[in-house]
Structure formats: C-alpha cells, structure tokens
Amino acid sequence: MTSALQYNFIQNALIGALLASIVCGIIGTIIIEKRLVMLSGGIAHASFGGIGLGYFLGVEPIITGLLFAIASALCIAGIKRNTSSDSDALIGMFWAVGMALGILFIALTPGYPPDMSSYLFGDILTISRSNIMLALGMDIFIVLSIAAFFNHWKAYLFDEEFSSVIGMDTRFLEYFLSVLVGMSIVILIKIVGIVLVIALLTIPPATSSLFSRNLLGIMKLSIVLGMANCLLGLVVSYIFNIPSGATIILVSCGVYFVSLILKGKKV
C-alpha cells in the first residue's frame, strides 16, 4: 500500500476521504440528533436528477447535482413548514422524481450512455483534483457555518420550539441546515455513491454517541472515526481488490458493532 501512495489517484482518494470525514462528523451528528435521516436520503436520490442533467448539458455533473440537492432540500423544507403535507410522503416523492429525472436525462444524452455506477455506488479512486477543490471549499463553508452559530445550533437541536420563543429565527436555521445537508451529500457521492451515502453520514456519529453525549464531543469523535474508517476501508479494498465504497461502509458498520459490544461490557 505504501508504494501506491506515489500515484495521484491514490493521493486524491486519501484527501477525499479526509474531507468526507469532516462532513460526516459535523453534519452527520446534526442529522442523527435532529432525526433527518430520511430527509437526507431524499436529497441524496434527488441529486441524481442533477447528475443526469449535467451529462445531458455537457457540464460537470457534480455541479448540477449540487444545485439539484440544494433546490430539493429547500423545497422539501419549505413545503413541510408551510403545508400540512406528510413529510415522509413528500420526501418519497422527491426521492422518486430525482431518480426518474436522472434516468430520463441519461437516456436523452447523445451518444453512448455514461457509466453512472460511480455516482450510484461510489468510486473514491476516480476523484479528480477539481472534485477535491470543490469538496474543500464546501468543507470550509460548512465548518465556518457551524462554528459561527454553534450555540444557536445547539439550542435548535435541543428544543426548536423554545428557540423560537426566545427569538431565534428557526425558519432560517431549518432552511440553512437543509442547504448544508445537500452540500454534504454531494461531497460524499463520489466516495460511496448515492445508494450508500446515508450510511457514511450516520454510522460514525452513531458510533460516537455511544461514548459521548456532548454535541461537540460527538462531532470531534465522529470526524476521527470517519477518517479511520475511510482509511481502513481503502486499505482493505486495495489489498483484496474489492469496491472501495462498499468496503468503507462495511468497515464502518463493523466498528459500530464492536463499539456496541465494548460499550455493553463497560456497562
């Protein structure tokens, strides 16, 4: 594995894994605490429509996927807040429409249809330098956004109704959080793909919450665990020549269940 570090695609994969781990730790913790797993799944699958549109228009699919993810997140949050529509049904519709649009755009794309497997199931070894720069920019924005309003986020997660009573703009926080979730998902798509993105967002925070109940503590531990899981998954996938995204998820699940057993023994 050491000799492989001389290759640019391996270096890009490692950098991408580290950037993804930061997102997993911060936004993943909020998703777990706010119970937004289904929302995240809907946004992830809706972004497939943007990826298909990118191929159809001949532009970078990650950019159009990002725009679709953010637009879907804002639409779901807005409709859920302003109507009495059932949120699960709403998320399911965006989930289905996004996938359907992606398939339609791919079918309409001239020439041979592109290989979509890296977006559906992930291929960390195909991450380009431009993908890394985009992920780095979004990582910085996410970290600064959470750090600047950390106390507001804590209050919002603990009791949204009370936060509204004391004067916090919870509507803004909800919409802003939806945007951050959409950005996070797009960062992770090239790592593990749309199908597995929710697992990578939720498993490290779920593992960390076994050992800490402090919000900042869970975030920090989740980042460390995410990095360790991604690096170990990359090593295992390299040694056995198996898909990297699926390996990272299985390693993460393994770490969770081992942690669950160890925590049970302590108790």
| Selected residue with higher pLDDT from 145 and 238 | 145
Judged against a pLDDT cut of 80, whether residue 6 lies above it is answered with no
Judged against a pLDDT cut of 80, whether residue 196 lies above it is answered with no
Q: What is the pLDDT of residue 267?
A: 43
| Confidence band, pLDDT 50/70/90 cuts, at residue 85 | low
Mean pLDDT value across the chain: 86
Instruction: Give dist(CA 96, CA 121) in Å, integer.
Output: 17
pLDDT digits (tens, 9 = 90+) for 88-130: 788 888 889 999 999 999 999 988 877 787 788 777 878 888 8
| Confidence band, pLDDT 50/70/90 cuts, at residue 1 | low
Q: What is the pLDDT of residue 265?
A: 52
Q: What is the 3-state secondary structure (H, E, C) of the chain?
A: CCHHHHCHHHHHHHHHHHHHHHHHHHHHHHHHHHCCHHHHHHHHHHHHHHHHHHHHHCCCHHHHHHHHHHHHHHHHHHHHHHCCCCHHHHHHHHHHHHHHHHHHHHHHCCCCCCCCHHHHCCCHHHCCHHHHHHHHHHHHHHHHHHHHCHHHHHHHHHCHHHHHHCCCCHHHHHHHHHHHHHHHHHHHHHHHHHHHHHHHHHHHHHHHCCCCCCHHHHHHHHHHHHHHHHHHHHHHHHHHCCCHHHHHHHHHHHHHHHHHHHHHHHC
> Model's pTM, two decimal places?
0.85
Q: What is the pLDDT of residue 251?
A: 93
pLDDT digits (tens, 9 = 90+) for 214-249: 899 999 999 999 899 988 988 898 889 888 888 888
Q: What percent of the chain has pLDDT over 90?
A: 28
Instruction: CATH number of the domain at 135, please.
Output: 1.10.3470.10
Domain that holds residue 11: 3-266
Total domain count for the chain? 1
Q: What is the pLDDT of residue 56?
A: 93
Q: What is the pLDDT of residue 185?
A: 87
Judged against a pLDDT cut of 80, whether residue 65 lies above it is answered with yes
| Selected residue with higher pLDDT from 50 and 131 | 50
